[in-house]
Amino acid sequence: MSRDETRAEPTPTYTMGYGPEFRKMLERRNAADCAAHLLPHLEPGMRLLDLGCGPGTISVGLADAVAPGALHGVDMEETQIEMARAAAAAGGHANATFQTGDATALPFEDASFDVVHCHALLNHAPDTAAVLAEMRRVLKPGGLVSAREVIGDSSLFEPALAIGGTGRDAAWGTFLTLLRANGGHPQMGKELKGALVAAGFTDIRAGASFESYNSADDLAFLNGLITGWYFAPRTMEAAIAHGVASEAQFDGWRRSLEQWMSEPGAFAAFAWGEAIGRKP
């Protein structure tokens, strides 16, 4: 990792980390699926900021939607910015530029953008109000704010077994507890409307959608993600250190995942809340 491990991080403990397993999850994302609530509002020539852009898989689709306008992607993590630059170069998205930065102290002048968007950032950034205040500051008056975040308690694993469910005995519930212990906001998707009101935005439209895992390929991907990321030492050690799970629980969940995968009715869906609003 090229990051200087000694410098203060804007989001002190980012739960998901930057390993290859979770990156595969981000690589499945695109603007059509993840920014469907925003795309109808985008026009050629707009200046758009994608905050917490990660490896840029959503950003490049947003860049297309505003071309020949400019897409700026910002993320606190240099490795993600390098991947986003590579994705933009490979796809010929010449109007997309990426730079490192902190969502609570953006490197842009006031009123720089027509649209400021984030996807799966507010779930992780501890100070929601500080991020939204920065999003508002860099927006032009009348500009559009947009966010899409997970709703932990409305996401589902069927049959629940020990994998799904929101209690501390379930793998998913314990993940949400870990996210909260790291300063994150596991229910942010359903809190977006209130958060945008509190931040002074108007004309707010909120909605919700599911990301479904149904086919054998989808379920195999999910199995690989849970095994390779959640059951990996980095995540397990963090959960155990925070006292939100024990090694014995992880062993049990590992066995339950195998059982869950063999269920003919196995189905999972992550719930997302999305909202747009205007800077008055």
Stretch of 8-16, 38-46, 91-99, 261-269 lying at the interface with ligand SAM (CB under 6 A)? 8-16
How many residues of this chain interact with ligand SAM, rule: CB under 6 A?
23
At a CB cut-off of 8 Å and minimum separation 6, what does 241 contact?
none
117 near ligand SAM, judged by CB under 6 A: no
149 near ligand SAM, judged by CB under 6 A: no
- The residue (of 78 and 218) whose beta carbon lies closer to ligand SAM is 78
- The residue (of 64 and 75) whose beta carbon lies closer to ligand SAM is 75
Stretch of 72-80, 167-175, 208-216, 227-235 lying at the interface with ligand SAM (CB under 6 A)? 72-80
Classify 214 as helix, strand or coil.
coil
For tokens 């599911």, what's the residue? 210
In angstroms, give the least distance from the CB of 189 to ligand SAM: 13
Stretch of 115-123, 132-140, 189-197, 242-250 lying at the interface with ligand SAM (CB under 6 A)? 115-123
Phi, psi of 261 (to 5 degrees): -60, -30
- The residue (of 4 and 141) whose beta carbon lies closer to ligand SAM is 4
C-alpha 156/C-alpha 237 separation (Å) is 25
Site string for ligand SAM, 85-114 (x = CB under 6 A): -----------------xxx----------
For tokens 């707009």, what's the residue? 46
Site string for ligand SAM, 41-60 (x = CB under 6 A): -----------xxx--xx--
- What are the angstrom distances between the C-alpha of 126 and each of 10, 165, 251, 275? 9, 24, 30, 19
- The residue (of 80 and 174) whose beta carbon lies closer to ligand SAM is 80
81 near ligand SAM, judged by CB under 6 A: no
Find the binder of ligand SAM among 31, 65, 83, 121 (CB under 6 A): 121
195 near ligand SAM, judged by CB under 6 A: no
- The residue (of 158 and 218) whose beta carbon lies closer to ligand SAM is 218
3-state helix, strand, coil split of the chain in percent (to 5) is 40, 20, 40
183: closest CA among 230, 128, 226?
Answer: 128
The torsion defined by the Cα of 183, 143, 34 and 53, in degrees rounded to 10, comes to -50
Classify 118 as helix, strand or coil.
strand
131: closest CA among 81, 80, 195?
Answer: 195
In angstroms, give the least distance from the CB of 169 to ligand SAM: 25
For tokens 């490197």, what's the residue? 107
- The residue (of 16 and 244) whose beta carbon lies closer to ligand SAM is 16
3-state secondary structure 241-266: HCCCCCHHHHHHHHHHHHHHHCCCCC
Q: Give 259's Cβ-side CA count (13 Å radius).
A: 13
15 near ligand SAM, judged by CB under 6 A: no
| Site residues (vs ligand SAM, CB under 6 A) | 10-11, 14, 16, 26, 29, 52-54, 57-58, 75-77, 80, 102-104, 119-121, 124-125
